[in-house]
């Protein structure tokens, strides 16, 4: 586990999250009016949530966490970023949607939670989460330890195949570390992907909030293939119930993508490829 790199990422996320939230308008009003930031991909895998206890790992600023709570779940969010958790707590209060938030490295929090009596019906993580984990086996084992018997893990994230491409759609990044060094250094740090998304959806329109954000803190990502991810989950004793691959994404990470309806596809020159994957795994009743 690369705790040193986790801490470096904490600083990079603190700076980026502050910029991201300047672009999102009155989020408390959005939630008070019934808004949700969840997508059909994760909703299908999550299933029924009323009266369920949900642990949302790497919850960022809490928008998805509060959307889960709106569906009737009792939700706890955990994130390494101080800025994100501070914002999430404020948003929860202003939106009038109860949720509990903890600022912690996910590994530390899971280890401490396993020593306490509470267990969760659902553990959830999504969209750009797994690339920040330096030890998948420890992550999966920590989740298995806090899941109630019969509880489920749901992950929806960007597919490792898509993450191999750079902004020019050239193959640049490794699919997996294949048991070797899998760390990628981003000197530019966590970027302002929220502003990028807004510009892509409404070309030529000004983006509210911080302009031309430059992150002063570098970031470190970890390359995991689908085999790495599934094997870690199986090794933790969870049973795989669903493995989905999706050819489109609700978010765009690369220039030149095509918006068809409400989903982004690769440029026309490319054949269909998986842009997202979804996993549901269950802890067997004892």
For residue range 183-223, what is the model confidence (pLDDT) as tens digits? 999 999 999 888 898 888 888 888 888 888 999 999 999 99
CA separation for the pair 217, 33 (Å, rounded): 36
Counting the structural domains of the chain, the total is 1
Asked whether the beta carbons of 16 and 215 are under 8 A apart, the reply is yes
What does pLDDT average to over the chain? Answer: 95
Task: Kindly tell me if the per-residue pLDDT of 285 is higher than 90.
Answer: no
Q: According to the model, what pLDDT value does residue 1 have?
A: 80
Q: Shortest CA distance to 190 belongs to which of 4, 5, 17, 1? A: 17
Q: According to the model, what pLDDT value does residue 204 have?
A: 80
Range of the domain at 178: 3-283
Q: What is the CATH number of the domain that holds 212?
A: 3.40.50.150
Model confidence over 184-195: pLDDT tens digits?
999 999 998 888
Whole-model pTM: value is 0.95
Model confidence over 18-66: pLDDT tens digits?
999 899 889 999 999 999 999 999 999 999 999 999 999 999 999 999 9
**Higher-confidence position of 189 and 1:** 189
Provide the percentage of residues in the chain whose pLDDT is more than 90.
88
CA separation for the pair 27, 30 (Å, rounded): 5
């Amino acid at each position: 586990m690369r705790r040193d790199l986790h801490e470096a990422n904490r600083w990079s996320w603190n700076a980026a999250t502050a910029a991201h939230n300047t672009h999102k308008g009155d989020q408390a009003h959005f939630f008070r009016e019934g808004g949700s930031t969840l997508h059909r991909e994760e909703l299908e895998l999550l299933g029924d949530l009323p009266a369920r206890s949900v642990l949302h790992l790497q919850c960022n600023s809490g928008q998805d966490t509060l959307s889960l709570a709106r569906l009737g779940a009792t939700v706890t969010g955990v994130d390494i970023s101080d800025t994100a958790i501070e914002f999430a707590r404020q948003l929860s209060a202003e939106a009038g949607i109860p949720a509990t938030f903890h600022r912690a490295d996910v590994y530390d929090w899971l280890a401490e939670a396993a020593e306490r009596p509470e267990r969760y019906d659902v553990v959830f993580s999504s969209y750009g989460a797994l690339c920040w984990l330096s030890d998948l086996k420890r992550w999966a084992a920590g989740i298995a330890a806090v899941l109630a018997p019969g509880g489920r893990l749901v992950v929806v994230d960007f597919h490792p195949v898509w993450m191999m491409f750079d902004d020019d759609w050239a193959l640049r990044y490794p699919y997996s570390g294949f048991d070797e060094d899998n760390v990628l250094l981003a000197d530019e740090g966590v970027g302002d992907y929220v502003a990028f998304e807004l510009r892509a959806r409404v070309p030529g329109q000004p983006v509210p909030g911080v302009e031309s954000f430059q992150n002063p803190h570098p970031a470190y990502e970890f390359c995991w293939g689908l085999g790495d991810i599934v094997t870690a989950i199986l090794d933790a004793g969870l049973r795989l119930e669903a493995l989905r691959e999706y050819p489109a994404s609700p978010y765009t990470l690369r220039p030149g993508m095509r918006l068809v309806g409400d989903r982004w596809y690769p440029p026309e020159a490319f054949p269909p490829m998986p842009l997202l994957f979804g996993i549901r795994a269950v802890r067997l009743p004892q």
